[in-house]
Structure 1
Amino acid sequence: MRLIVGMQPVREAIAAHGEKLGRVLVAKDGGPKVDALSRFARDRGAKVETVERRELDSIARGAYHQNVIAYAPELAFVEAADLVVLDKPIVLALDEIEDPQNFGAIVRSAVALGAAAVMWPEHHSAPLTPATFRASAGAIEHARLCRVSSLPSALAELKAAGFAIVGLDANGDADLSTMALRAPLVLVVGAEGKGLRKPVKGACDALARLPMRGPVASLNASVAAAVALYEVTRAT
């Protein structure tokens, strides 16, 4: 079981897993929001236990738990080959995004914007911890997750299956907003500062840039991913 902390991440875990949750622990006298969450959990078959706040403090180990903690099933992962059978999917691939806040925020955007899956390499990527789950505002509970041993190899596999592979690069040859895009497609986003690694760039069909109108030449990785994914989903 995974530890989930915080009001919104726990709510999304309840919505996604219901009676499959291990336990939902809520603080005694936690207030009306905690009471509402307890009812929400019970209505969906989850087991709710009321405990002293100090017990939640001990379990959370400093994390901001907002008087509620849950134990959720381990995340399930799919293989790259599983994405091939989906109907014209848009996949968001993350190249060594190591910051949990950025990683979680990107997953949240991917779910909100309808990406079919989020793919990333198992090494040099953000760990899947309560901080990452919280940064996604619980959206990771609804995401199709594809963790691969080699991102360039996975991209090559999807390219062979007919996916277009578009890398986001500040020095890309094409403006993303003017490209003729089609699904199935993988949008590849690199880490802030480092960008895409050379082997990942080599696996892309095209490198695209976001049009920047102001004096600032770059965006935070999670913001860039959200803007680019919106453009891709709109265009396809």
Structure 2
Amino acid sequence: MNTNGPRRALRGRAGRMQGGRGSGRGSKGAVRLWGRHAVEAALMNPERQHRKLWATREGIDSLCGDLPEDFPVEYAQAQDLARLVARDAPHQGLVLECDPLPDLHLDDVLDSESRRPIVVLDQVTDPHNVGAIMRSAAAFDACAIVTQDRHAPPESGVVAKSASGALEVVPWIRVVNLARALEQMADAGYWRIGLAGEAKATLAQALSTGPIALVLGAEGEGMRHNIAEHCDALARLPISAAMESLNVSNAAAIALYAIATHEDSE
């Protein structure tokens, strides 16, 4: 039993699950999440419609809050939960099936007055990277992550686990046309910086005093030419010549830290 202070009510919207089990996949139209941080954040999110929680008793006790009395829970052994998630996924005794988060639009998050950065991902398809970037976005107070509706991973347990709860707090905006979305950001007053290893300017030199849209491309290929053309500046991280590049999630974390400390120093 968790004894770290008073336990809060986990007040997500619970509903009865319909459909059967899958191997890491939710039933039709559902998302399956696992791991304590991902599940607890989803349970606390009022925007989530919950269907069912499979859990060990130890998993339930690890939650920093109390489930409503009528919440649909099925107790199971750890080895049984392993059949509900992706292979070798660390479920930590908790597997939650829920509806996907409601769709959001770019207009919902654009706010140049707040000066919180936006993270734009151009064809970053690895769900582990997207989740890790989302976690950094939450840590450094980014207002949203923007991806194309295609060439990006779906909302999933892998993304949620890598995001460690950030999937529930960082808006994820999916757009049809990424270049058009960047134009919309410019119209709203954002300075668009694309990270590119071949750029002459460093990120510190490219930063402006206004809100930033940070654009990152896929590992290896980088940003597409059309997306780079829609940036106001291209910049690089000044890494050692002994290393060719950084993982895109590491680059995002460093860049977001630079943006945050640049604002603090003004």
Using the size of structure 1 for normalisation, the TM-score is 0.88
Residue 168 of structure 1 aligns to which amino acid in structure 2? L
Per the alignment, residue 155 of structure 2 pairs with 128
**Stretch of structure 1 that moved more, 176-185 or 126-135:** 176-185
Change (3 A) 1:24 1:181: same
Please, which of 44, 61, 68 is the counterpart of residue 15 of structure 1? 44
| Aligned-residue offset at 1:25 | 1.9
Task: Give the percent of matched residue pairs that are identical in Structure 1 and Structure 2.
Answer: 29
Residue 229 of structure 2 aligns to which amino acid in structure 1? G
| Aligned-residue offset at 1:66 | 2.1
Per the alignment, residue 73 of structure 1 pairs with 99
Question: In the aligned structure 2, how far is the partner of 1:206 from the partner of 1:12?
Answer: 36
1:64 maps onto 2:90 in alignment: yes
Please, which of 186, 190, 199 is the counterpart of residue 163 of structure 1? 190
Question: In the aligned structure 1, how far is the partner of 2:232 from the partner of 2:215?
Answer: 11
CA contact (8 A) 2:103 2:173 kept: yes
**Stretch of structure 1 that moved more, 186-195 or 66-75:** 66-75
CA contact (8 A) 2:121 2:147 kept: yes
Q: How many residues align?
A: 232
Residue 74 of structure 1 aligns to which amino acid in structure 2? P
Q: Which has the higher helix share?
A: 1
**Stretch of structure 1 that moved more, 172-181 or 197-206:** 172-181
Change (3 A) 1:214 1:66: same
Question: In the aligned structure 2, how far is the partner of 1:46 from the partner of 1:113?
Answer: 34
Q: In the TM superposition, what are the counterparts of 1:182-197 in structure 2 within 5 Å?
A: 182-197=209-224
Report which structure shows greater RCO (CA 8 Å, sep ≥6).
Answer: 1
Question: In the aligned structure 2, how far is the partner of 1:129 from the partner of 1:220?
Answer: 21
Residue 65 of structure 2 aligns to which amino acid in structure 1? F
1:6 maps onto 2:31 in alignment: no
Which deviations, in whole Å up to 9, do the C-alpha atoms of 1:66-106 show, x marking residues without a partner? 22111233213321222334622310000100111111111
Question: In the aligned structure 2, how far is the partner of 1:38 from the partner of 1:180?
Answer: 41
**Stretch of structure 1 that moved more, 97-106 or 132-141:** 132-141
* Structure 2 portions without partners, runs of 5+: 1-29
Instruction: Classify the secondary structure of the residue corresponding to 2:67.
Output: helix
1:212 maps onto 2:239 in alignment: yes
Please, which of 35, 40, 45 is the counterpart of residue 65 of structure 2? 40
Per the alignment, residue 145 of structure 1 pairs with 172
Question: In the aligned structure 2, how far is the partner of 1:16 from the partner of 1:44?
Answer: 18
Question: In the aligned structure 2, how far is the partner of 1:44 from the partner of 1:171?
Answer: 57
| Aligned-residue offset at 1:41 | 3.9
Change (3 A) 1:136 1:45: farther
| Aligned-residue offset at 1:161 | 2.1
| Aligned-residue offset at 1:54 | 5.1
| Aligned-residue offset at 1:138 | 2.3
| Aligned-residue offset at 1:13 | 1.4
Residue 53 of structure 2 aligns to which amino acid in structure 1? V
**Stretch of structure 1 that moved more, 10-19 or 157-166:** 10-19
Please, which of 123, 126, 135 is the counterpart of residue 96 of structure 1? 123
Change (3 A) 1:212 1:138: same
Using the size of structure 2 for normalisation, the TM-score is 0.78
**Stretch of structure 1 that moved more, 8-17 or 104-113:** 8-17
CA contact (8 A) 2:192 2:232 kept: yes
Change (3 A) 1:213 1:38: closer
CA contact (8 A) 2:193 2:206 kept: no
